[in-house]
Amino acid sequence: MTKKECLAKMNAQIEDWKCEMKALEDKAADAGEDVKAKCHEAMDALRCQCQEGEAKLEEWKAKAEDAWEDFQDEAEDALTSLKTSMSDSIQRIKSFFA
């Protein structure tokens, strides 16, 4: 994957997460107080994870094109790890509404 492709993929993924977080926040606003409290705490953690992703994206943007090849595996591993973490967190929040 080229640097440009990886950056575009990461940026799109972050935007998807933000949309999903917004939908969960909207759903929590209509929930009971217990669910709201659980969601608030979990959403704070989710926002931190998203911010970590944004920081990684900025770090990757700063990498020189010629250094990208050496960094590519690390970037792809980080993206996979972040996807798993975010997905797990989102599913946990969704479980509050079940």
> Closest Cα partner for 38 from 76, 75, 82, 92?
92
Convert 54-92 to b/e letters by CB count within 10 Å (16 or more is b): eebbeebeeeeeeebeebbeebeebbeebeeebeebbee
Average pLDDT estimate for 79-97 = 91
Is it the case that residue 70 has pLDDT exceeding 90? no
- Which residues touch 14 (CB under 8 Å, ≥6 apart)? 50, 53, 54, 57
Give domain status of residue 30, yes or no.
no
Domain that holds residue 56: 3-22+36-95
Given this model, what pLDDT does residue 12 score? 93
Give domain status of residue 31, yes or no.
no
Count of the separate structural domains present in the chain: 1
Give domain status of residue 66, yes or no.
yes
Is it the case that residue 1 has pLDDT exceeding 80? no
Is it the case that residue 5 has pLDDT exceeding 90? no
Give domain status of residue 74, yes or no.
yes
> Closest Cα partner for 47 from 78, 80, 89, 11?
89
Q: Residues 15-58: pLDDT tens digits?
A: 999 999 999 999 999 888 998 888 888 999 889 989 988 998 88
